[in-house]
């Protein structure tokens, strides 16, 4: 068994170093997967828009073709998707996870993520969707009917991304709680967190225990407010892998830059780190 393990490690390392052109994925048996040791880390990937036009690919926009290829790679290499709740329980030492566990998250609730769901369904992949409950409903964003349908799928989770996603560098949740001169304050920040949870639970009829910070901006005061608002886990935009014993109030996640090639995607999955690639016309879009 040890010889087989070493051979698999050597093969995977060789594939990471191989050039993208001419590479062919080697399917990995999906039978009983070994359990992930406490020291190994789980990557959590961040996606935003999944579009049919590759010319708009960029930091937060990925083409459906590119996304489809990425999901096929994960399937071919035997990755097992897990939900955020499962990940949090693993981090707290309550459960074990497969050796190649990975979590997929979709930020902001863009309507274009409906392009991705058939791909996820085809592979039986789990995913979570993070919703802005006021100016992130309808239009370019998912409607409540879409959100409720996603939440009804046993493989999908729906969680909070605040009420209005304040993302101005000078006027956001962090400045509200730390800048005494700001007209907004602690109560406004708490409302963003608690009201979005309340509205989601009202629509979905199930507990909403997890929150994603707008633009990834937070501080210790906001973490305390999120706990006060009833959240048991918080996801960040801090790169890295998540291990047993890590803080579930600071779950690490990493961007998948839609303009990157497959080799870079493989590195992102392996390391949990974000790699910026040259954008082909794509620009980050402000929510709302």
pLDDT tens digit string along 16-61?
333 333 333 333 333 334 444 445 799 999 999 999 987 777 789 9
Of residues 255, 168, 174, the one with CA closest to residue 213: 174
Hey, how many other C-beta atoms are within 10 angstroms of the C-beta on 163? 22
3-state secondary structure the chain: CHHHHHHHHHHHHHHHHCCCCCCCCCCCCCCCCCECCCCCCECEEEECEEECCHHHCECCEEEHHHHHHHHHHHHHCCCEECCHHHHHHHHCCCCCCECCEEEEEECCCEHHHHHCHHHHHHHCCCEEEEECCCCCCCCCECCHHHHHHHHHCCCEEEEECCCCCCCECCECHHHHHHCCCCCCCHHHHHHHHHHHHHHHHHHHCCCCCEEECHHHCCCHHHHHHHHHCCCCEEECCCCCCECCCCCHHHECCEECCCCCCHHHHHHHHHHCCCCCCCCCCCCCCCCC
- Mean pLDDT throughout 256-276? 94
Pair 76, 26: CB distance under 8 Å: yes
Question: What is the band of 224 on the pLDDT scale with cuts at 50, 70, 90?
Answer: very high
pLDDT tens digit string along 62-103?
999 999 999 999 999 999 999 999 999 999 999 999 999 999
Q: pLDDT at residue 286 above 60?
A: no
The C-alpha atoms of residue 189 and residue 163 are separated, in whole angstroms, by 10
Of residues 165, 166, 130, the one with CA closest to residue 147: 130
Pair 33, 99: CB distance under 8 Å: yes
Residue keyed to tokens 């993070």: 130
Percent of the chain with pLDDT over 70: 81
CA dihedral 272, 278, 282, 286 (to 10 degrees): 50
Q: pLDDT at residue 173 above 50?
A: yes
pLDDT at 288 (0 to 100)? 33
pLDDT at 38 (0 to 100)? 46
Domains defined along the chain, listed by start: 41-271 (3.20.20.370)
pTM of the shown model: 0.83
Of 10-19, 153-162, 191-200, minimum mean pLDDT range? 10-19
pLDDT at 184 (0 to 100)? 74
pLDDT at 58 (0 to 100)? 77
User: Taking phi first (over 0 means left), then psi (-120 to 50 degrees means alpha), and beta for anything else, what does residue 132 get?
Assistant: beta
pLDDT at 7 (0 to 100)? 39
pLDDT at 57 (0 to 100)? 78
User: Rounded mean pLDDT of the chain?
Assistant: 85
Q: pLDDT at residue 124 above 80?
A: yes
- Mean pLDDT throughout 164-181? 88
Hey, how many other C-beta atoms are within 10 angstroms of the C-beta on 180? 6
Q: And the tokens for 189?
A: 């920040």
Which one is predicted more confidently, 2 or 93?
93
Question: What is the band of 183 on the pLDDT scale with cuts at 50, 70, 90?
Answer: low
pLDDT at 181 (0 to 100)? 60
Rounded to 5 degrees, what angle do the CA atoms 76, 77, 78 make?
Answer: 95
Non-local CB neighbours of 244 within 8 Å, separated by 6+ positions: 38, 39, 90, 91, 92, 93
pLDDT at 203 (0 to 100)? 98
Q: pLDDT at residue 194 above 70?
A: yes
């Amino acid at each position: 068994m040890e010889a087989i393990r070493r051979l698999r490690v050597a093969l995977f390392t060789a594939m990471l170093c191989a050039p993208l052109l001419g590479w062919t994925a080697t399917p990995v048996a999906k039978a009983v997967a070994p359990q992930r040791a406490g020291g190994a880390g789980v990557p959590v990937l961040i996606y935003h828009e999944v579009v049919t036009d590759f010319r708009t690919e960029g930091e937060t926009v990925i083409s459906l073709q590119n996304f489809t290829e990425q999901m096929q790679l994960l399937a071919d290499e035997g990755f097992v998707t897990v939900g955020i709740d499962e990940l949090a329980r693993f981090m707290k030492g309550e459960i074990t996870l497969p050796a190649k566990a990975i979590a997929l998250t979709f930020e902001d609730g863009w309507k274009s993520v409906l392009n991705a769901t058939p791909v996820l369904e085809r592979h039986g992949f789990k995913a979570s969707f993070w919703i802005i409950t006021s100016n992130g409903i309808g239009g370019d964003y998912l409607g409540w009917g879409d959100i409720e349908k996603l939440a009804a799928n046993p493989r999908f989770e729906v969680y909070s991304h605040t009420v209005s996603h304040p993302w101005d560098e000078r006027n956001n949740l962090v400045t509200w709680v730390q800048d005494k001169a700001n007209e907004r304050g602690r109560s406004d920040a708490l409302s963003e967190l608690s009201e979005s949870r309340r509205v989601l639970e009202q629509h979905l009829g199930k507990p909403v225990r997890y929150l994603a910070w707008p633009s990834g901006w937070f501080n210790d005061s906001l973490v305390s407010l999120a706990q006060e608002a009833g959240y048991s886990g918080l996801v960040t935009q801090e790169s890295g892998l998540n291990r047993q014993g890590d803080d579930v109030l600071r779950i690490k996640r990493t961007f998948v830059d839609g303009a990157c090639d497959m080799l870079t995607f493989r590195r992102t999955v392996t390391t949990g780190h974000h790699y910026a690639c040259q954008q082909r016309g794509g620009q980050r879009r402000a929510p709302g």
